[in-house]
Structure 1
Amino acid sequence: MTSIIKFTALSGAKNEEPNCYLLQVDEFTFLLDCGWDEWFSDTIIRKIRRHMSQIDAILLSFPDSQHLGCLPYLVGKLGMNCPIYATVPVYKMGQMFMYDLYQSHHNTEDFDKFSLDDVDLAFDRIIQVKHNQTVHLKDKGHGLSIAPIHAAHIIGGTSWKIMKADEEGEIVYAVDFNHKRERHLNGCSLLESLSETSGRSGIAGPARPPQLLITDAFNASYQQTRRKVRDEELLTKIIETMRGDGNVLIAVDTAGRVLELAILLDQLWNDARSGLGAYSLAMLNNVTYNVVEFAKSMMEWMSDKIINSFTDQRNSPFQFKHLKLCHNLGDLAQVSNPKCVLASTLDMESGFSRQLFVRWCSDPRNSVIITGRSSPGTLSHSLMSNPGISSINLEIRKRVAMFGEELDEFERRKQAKKAQNKKIIEQVSSDESDAEEKVPAMKTVKHDLLVPSENAKKGGFFKQAKKTYPMFPYVETRIKWDEYGEIINPDDYKTADSLLAEKEIIANAKEKVEVEKKAEAEKEEETEVPTKCVRETRNVEVKCSVSYIDFEGRSDGESIMKIIQQIKPLEVIVVRGSPKNTAKLADSIQKAFPSSADAVKVFTPAVDQVVDTTKERHIYQVRLKDSVVNTLRFFKAKDSQVCWLDAKLDFSESHVGALDVLPGQNNGIAAEPMEVDLPAGGYGQAKDTDDARKDLIPNLVPMNAGENSGHRSYFVNELRLSDFKQILLKEGVHAEFIGGVLICNSSVAIRRTHQGHVDMEGCLSEDYYKIRELLYQQYAIL
């Protein structure tokens, strides 16, 4: 891929922060995921906001908050309106993740980062796609296409492939994938998926090596236990705890990995040999029922075993026989003890998992099982790092009922507000009565209007999109007749004053309805007990057993290396992972391709560091000044336009780190190679240096008088003599090939030289000048 390719990590580079990256391909900029951490820090938001005007599309990989947590804030609060692409399960389950995350915080604190309306607004903008479906981008992305690839880990999980038309190589963004087959998901196979999408895009044969692979080092040093050993460990822990009359808390996510655990545990409870049928099993989060119903509706996204079982026998693994669905602690209280509870959230910073831990941790009979790793500083990470901890300081957040002076003050404010609304209703009713006295009640008149033509805009240098004038829908009504003729419609004879008064009546009526609805809502709220949020820091004794059992569903370091060796990318960017894991994966990749012919360039950027992986190093970005654009003369050459450009580079007003892309290779501007004095290392090296000039984007400014010495003429086109022969015949010129030379009217010879040039020989005559004019018309002459 000979495009300009620049990669910038906004989060998740040389650390284990959420995934959020910018990828620029020519003039088009992708935002690869937009994860948010457990504390909703403003750091990621500020970085995305700084580049928000440049983002043209968002690609979402997984539905959890580590990959799309910022989306409701970006769309709902900041007004981001670019296209957002995700698979159907990421769309549905992502909503469940965000609903549960909001409600988990709202139940215990005044949460204002985003609202449920923000979640709905954000997910309504998502364009839903299927795995291996090729999507061709438009406008600025013309010539680019994207394809989601099955990545497993979570239902609908996606690796993204970015391709450019008529060019070899592509960009693959693959993080957190899982190559192992599980109970509810097939394992991913990047090599097979790349081959399939290549075939769909019209490329025959095996898949070519990707030009660039972006992958993570989160599990670079991690070795997974065998699935059988892991399941036995989980079963043993649950049985030991419940036989000791204790409860088991399993911290899980909302709508991702919880599906794998739910299927496993329901199967264990259904097995009479396990002895678990006498105990209770429950799943607890704010959207439990919706998660299970969505899972039932997305069987085609799951493993082959589940699909075949459902197709042949209509068996669904989500028709749970023992798992009880709970939405709050009141529902859970109805489940008899001892019980095993799958509770969100995974990090235990909010949600029912944190509340149950506070309740159960002081009882030595209980157990807490953590199924995945989270960021340092979270409760889950603290318990994993210190398995023998005896006490821990926790901030206890809860919503409690108001009482005393606070309740009285709340009631006074509510009564004052109620009186104000009542006054507004009375005023609206009075205005409506006055209007009704002046004008009798009439039906609303609907007019079909054609918007008048606007002044035509002058044509510019750049192509303008065609506009059509909107028209209100017109419905032709049947004319009714009686014995006296056409029936008269009184509405056709209304005066302007009556119409204006009628509009006022309608507006007042609407306002009255809205106020009444608001009053009814406040009346319903009167039955609810007013609440407030309180916080306190408490030292909590940890007497229960705490254990970590890996149910993350990610490929380990050894498997990642084998997959990279299979697909053989030309360049690799390593993201999300500790500095140690990042360095280890980069070193392993370089050792896996030792020969110079197979050498792979590996980049390990830090946050805010720009990596330029442009393949053709003579391509640079520049800015065109208006004074230069106004002097350009374009000539048509096939499907594009070209021109000659005489200008010089100016660094005096250059911008650092800008992503603006100016006319370059793909817009047909031809220019002689220019010697540019660049700093050592060029644009393409991701080095820690204070040399700011490596990210400068210079301006192209007009040359002064005397500096431009002119240039020889250039003929832009690759003319085929066979095609030119047909043109001559249409113009009445006899032409035929003799020994590879095109003879025209027996007087002019046209031949192609070994250097590819076209030579024309003959006696000066009318035929010679006519044929030469026809030949010149086939070129754009600069």
Structure 2
Amino acid sequence: MFNFTPLLGAQSASAASQSLLEFDGGIKVLIDAGWDESFDVEKLKEMEKHVPTLSFILLTHATTAHLGAFAHCCKHFPLFTRIPVYATIPVIALGRTLLQDLYASTPLASSIIPLHVLTDSAHPITSYEDGHAPNILLQAPTPEEIASYFSLINPLKYSQPHQPLPSSFSPPLNGLTITAYSAGHTLGGTIWHIQHGMESVVYAVDWNQAREHVLSGAAWLGGSGADGSEVLEQLRRPTAMICSSKRSGPLAIAGQRNKRDDTLLSMIRDTVGNGGSVLIPSDSSARVLELAYLLEETWRKETSTRQGTNQLKNVKVYLAIKTGGATMRNVLSLQEWMDEGIVKEFETKSAPQVDQDQNRSRGQQRGGAKAEDDKAAKPPFDFRHITILEKKSRVMRMLRRKEPRVIIASDTSMEWGFSKDAIKSLASDERNLIILTERAGETGAQVKGLGRHLWELWNERSESSRQDPVSTAVVSASGHQTTMQSTRTVPLEGNELSLYQQYLAKQRQLHQTEEDELVRATTVWQQILDDNSQSSPSSEDEEDFVAQGKPLSVAYILGRARTKNQPTEEELGPTILIRNKGVQDYYTGAEKGRRAMFPFEPPPRRREDDYGEELVQGEFETKENDDDGVTKRRKVDETTTSGPGEDPESSDSEPEENPDKVEGPSKVILGTETLQLNCQISFVDFSGLHDRRTIQMLVPLIRPRKLILIAGEEAETNELAEECHKVLNAGAGEAVVIIDVFTPTVGMVIDASVDTNAWMAKLSRGILRKLQWQQVRGLGVVAITGKLAAASLEPSAKQAEGGAKKKVKLETAAPEEEEKMDTTPILDVVPTNMATAIRSVAQPFHVGDLRLADLRKIMQSSGMTAEFRGEGVLVINGTVSVRKTATGRIEVDGGAYSLADVKTTETSSFWQVKKKIYDGLAVVGGGAM
């Protein structure tokens, strides 16, 4: 069983992404905790409902659309930090700096307490002006808290299968395996492959097949270094493929990287040549790497007297991001996640820089030309021509200068980053140019985001955009006015503080109740599992055992605690004797199994590790109350994260001037301001996403049994679904299974289980005695060839014991007896006269998948030497090489020395390797039984 539910980001203009995957046995997987620039907590309600039943969480990209709500959930959702989270190392590192930048840039990221939560307070809403409640903000996580949240994420590497650990309130995962593959688009971006039983799910949202300066393409065809002829075996023929339809409209044709870069640089040259400045809104951690690398390399060539034209020599480039220094330092340590070309560039440019540092320490002098060569040998992202600005005061000083410049600022929505401040300063001059790098999503607020508004304005005024997606069209916004949202935080006053304190008290009580119920329910469930491991329940108790299992104990109880409803006596069963006061009797005459026994609630048990009882996070913290009555925690040994890096011209001792910053409980005052646009607007697609042509090419090669399209607007999703349905079912006749293409909306549940034609059949005693089971990775495998007979021809057990040979005739049976009769067909042994013909047709085959890492351990345990050399080639005893192709085929190559002793195959390395490989697979015969 596999169900898929998009919680956010399906047939919607919002870029936020949240997806829920449900597998057999109550396993629930949340992929992404995205948010948009509205920061509306109502959009997280559906995810919050599933938190008590989640098994683990996966994160795909270090962008706001994929993990913007992660810190909010960790701070304000009980039990969320107890759920295991998995992501790649770059997603963890860059996601941390992204959220630190987000919460430091806008107070709205803290989230406004919803109106309906405050309606049952002691102070009526109508007591405030205009009958509206104040926009009271929740407590924002500090940079230290954000760092601690991301330290809880389990790091993974590409192409390494991993069996995740479930949460303490999750059912067993039963061998579920997750594997991360490169998605392109962002550094560490992930395509997830989830294998559970017969269900194989590929989750691919926001990927890019094309190679770029910094990022390699998606791993569909094997990634860099592969021949690219076939899709990886692990990603081929999945049960369901969940793919994004974003940027798949009729204008989305595969763009060329060189044309894209030349278009951007040409616009910059023309603008600065006319005395104007260029603003390029980008994100804080993902696509900004591609832009920064391109501009740094261009300025290095332009300022070189040997290669450049000196047109950009006096033009400065600024990177305005609050955590820009920390982001670039993280990138310098993530070289192995980049494309092979830039990795070689790191290696070639780092060596001269090391020699320069050593010579400088020895006091040796170098010539001017040699020193210039050493300066040019700086590794990527160790900027020489880009100045990083992290403080708002320095950004405002830069904007007041009357000189041509190029500014990369966060963010693309222009709602919370430095790009919002930059456009206020640059919009009035018609010489300035704003280059949009991707289509901004809608937030759903009453006032449309500025980034989305500018993109729609350019799309309307640019006629060439309807013909060429990599357009060079520059339109003038002269005479156009727009509104943008303004925010200002102020301290709470009067009844607002009491209202806020009452809300905090209610939340603490609710969280404590859920924590207590979880501890009790988990302890009971663990005790049941321990008892069940020693003595499994009988067949008559199985149904009751499942009914009193985990879903009733955890998910149901937490749901009741949240809605303040008490379970009924029928739902409680015999546990009413210990849960309700004054109840001494409970009738169990009609009950079976555990419901007929007196309930027992074991005392809570502390979890233990190798060093004894586990320590609870925050157990050694002291609580303090400030003057406003807000409880704060102070660690005994407080440590702070290293501050973000500054550019060479900055003053580290200069404090950040933020007059809007408020200590303690606060509220936000929202307003609007009018912005007169006289500047130029253009669009160059730097989003790094797949297009329609790429999807139409790859999906038939992947051949999913079911295709689910999400993460796109309604029109482009429906158009792509129609095209994919035609491509996947081209030439399908009556005998071919039609591949379904789903386009769910937010909240719609899609049943995407594996589509098999399954029938029930009974095995005869004769065929049961001949079964020869083989074990492959904990699963029993057997091939059965038999003769299927109707149930009416099989004598019953009583008739067999008495020797009766009478056949039951269905046509003479009464209607009541016919309903009670078992009509399941019987699979019996093939007669001797037919066995020879069937055996000649059925061919034996191998079942299983051999991992080279497992083979390496097996050979080492057998006393042989085994090590990996080259590109994934396992060399054994220095004479036998074993490689696994992208299609899963095992190739064994042995030289003459591996067959030195042909007479004694046990001592031959070649034959020993072959034997171990076959031992790891099940050879299923095709003969009749």
Normalised by the size of structure 2, how large is the TM-score?
Answer: 0.53
Q: State the partner residue of 2:651.
A: none
- Is 2:81 the partner of 1:68? no
Shift of 1:306: 1.1
Shift of 1:232: 2.2
Aligned residue runs from structure 1 range 49-448, under 5 A: 49-79=48-78, 80=80, 81-106=82-107, 112=138, 114-116=140-142, 118-138=145-165, 140-164=172-196, 167=198, 170-192=200-222, 208-221=236-249, 222-272=252-302, 273=309, 275-314=311-350, 316-332=379-395, 335=398, 337-376=403-442, 377-387=448-458, 388-389=476-477, 390-395=479-484, 397=486
- Partner of 2:259, secondary structure, is helix
Could you tell me which runs of 5 or more consecutive residues in structure 1 were left unpaired when the two chains were aligned. 197-202, 414-455, 475-505, 621-636, 641-705, 720-739, 741-751, 757-782
Shift of 1:329: 3.0
Shift of 1:218: 0.9
Change (3 A) 1:460 1:102: closer
Find the aligned partners of 2:749 and 2:300 in 1 and give their Cα distance.
54
Change (3 A) 1:270 1:26: same
Shift of 1:509: 14
Change (3 A) 1:146 1:184: same
Q: State the partner residue of 1:595.
A: 731
Q: State the partner residue of 2:844.
A: none
Find the aligned partners of 1:302 and 1:374 in 2 and give their Cα distance.
26
- Partner of 1:209, secondary structure, is coil
Find the aligned partners of 2:824 and 2:696 in 1 and give their Cα distance.
53
Residue type of the partner of 1:392? Q
Q: State the partner residue of 1:16.
A: 13
- Contact 2:212 2:257 (C-alpha < 8 Å) held by counterparts: no
Shift of 1:108: 11
Find the aligned partners of 1:282 and 1:160 in 2 and give their Cα distance.
36
Residue type of the partner of 1:82? I
* Cα deviation code 1:160-195 (max 9, x no counterpart): 001135x4x621011110011100011113142699
* Cα deviation code 1:627-672 (max 9, x no counterpart): xxxxxxxxxx9999xxxxxxxxxxxxxxxxxxxxxxxxxxxxxxxx
- Partner of 2:312, secondary structure, is coil
State percent identity of aligned pairs: 26
Change (3 A) 1:586 1:528: closer
Aligned residue runs from structure 1 range 463-482, under 5 A: 463=533
- Is 2:757 the partner of 1:604? no
- Contact 1:217 1:576 (C-alpha < 8 Å) held by counterparts: yes
Shift of 1:158: 0.4
Residue type of the partner of 1:37? D
Q: State the partner residue of 1:559.
A: 694
- Partner of 1:132, secondary structure, is coil
Find the aligned partners of 1:232 and 1:84 in 2 and give their Cα distance.
40
Residue type of the partner of 2:382? Q
- Contact 1:284 1:342 (C-alpha < 8 Å) held by counterparts: yes
Change (3 A) 1:97 1:540: same
* Cα deviation code 1:41-71 (max 9, x no counterpart): 2332111122222221111110101011121
* Cα deviation code 1:440-480 (max 9, x no counterpart): xxxxxxxxxxxxxxxx9788763389989969979xxxxxx
Change (3 A) 1:208 1:577: closer
Aligned residues: 551
- Partner of 2:533, secondary structure, is coil
Residue type of the partner of 1:548? F
- Contact 1:590 1:600 (C-alpha < 8 Å) held by counterparts: yes
- Contact 2:34 2:67 (C-alpha < 8 Å) held by counterparts: yes
Q: State the partner residue of 1:615.
A: 754
Q: State the partner residue of 2:593.
A: none
Change (3 A) 1:94 1:464: farther
Normalised by the size of structure 1, how large is the TM-score?
Answer: 0.62
Residue type of the partner of 1:383? L
Find the aligned partners of 1:457 and 1:137 in 2 and give their Cα distance.
23
Find the aligned partners of 1:108 and 1:180 in 2 and give their Cα distance.
34
Shift of 1:149: 0.7
- Partner of 1:24, secondary structure, is strand
- Partner of 2:32, secondary structure, is strand
Change (3 A) 1:111 1:595: same
* Cα deviation code 1:10-42 (max 9, x no counterpart): 111122332111111212111121211110123
Change (3 A) 1:572 1:360: same
Shift of 1:223: 2.2
Q: State the partner residue of 1:585.
A: 720
- Contact 2:486 2:673 (C-alpha < 8 Å) held by counterparts: no
- Contact 1:284 1:343 (C-alpha < 8 Å) held by counterparts: yes
Shift of 1:323: 0.3
Find the aligned partners of 1:280 and 1:471 in 2 and give their Cα distance.
56
Find the aligned partners of 2:419 and 2:321 in 1 and give their Cα distance.
9
Find the aligned partners of 1:299 and 1:67 in 2 and give their Cα distance.
23
Shift of 1:619: 8.8
Moved more, 230-239 or 263-272: 230-239
- Contact 2:623 2:632 (C-alpha < 8 Å) held by counterparts: no
- Contact 1:269 1:275 (C-alpha < 8 Å) held by counterparts: no
Change (3 A) 1:392 1:209: same
- Contact 2:621 2:634 (C-alpha < 8 Å) held by counterparts: no
Shift of 1:356: 1.1
- Which one of the candidate residues 665, 681, 685 is aligned to 1:546? 681
Find the aligned partners of 1:310 and 1:30 in 2 and give their Cα distance.
38
Change (3 A) 1:258 1:140: same
Residue type of the partner of 2:454? L
Q: State the partner residue of 1:500.
A: none
Residue type of the partner of 1:311? E
Find the aligned partners of 2:97 and 2:289 in 1 and give their Cα distance.
13
Shift of 1:361: 0.9
Find the aligned partners of 2:200 and 2:36 in 1 and give their Cα distance.
30
* Cα deviation code 1:520-544 (max 9, x no counterpart): x9xxx9x997856655422221111
- Partner of 1:565, secondary structure, is helix
Q: State the partner residue of 1:656.
A: none
- Contact 1:195 1:206 (C-alpha < 8 Å) held by counterparts: no
Change (3 A) 1:252 1:460: closer
Find the aligned partners of 2:152 and 2:697 in 1 and give their Cα distance.
37
Find the aligned partners of 2:218 and 2:290 in 1 and give their Cα distance.
16
Residue type of the partner of 2:32? D
- Contact 1:150 1:158 (C-alpha < 8 Å) held by counterparts: yes
Shift of 1:366: 1.8
Q: State the partner residue of 1:698.
A: none
- Contact 1:184 1:259 (C-alpha < 8 Å) held by counterparts: yes
Change (3 A) 1:161 1:308: same
- Partner of 2:222, secondary structure, is helix
Moved more, 48-57 or 61-70: 48-57
Find the aligned partners of 1:129 and 1:236 in 2 and give their Cα distance.
40
- Contact 1:73 1:113 (C-alpha < 8 Å) held by counterparts: no
- Partner of 1:214, secondary structure, is strand
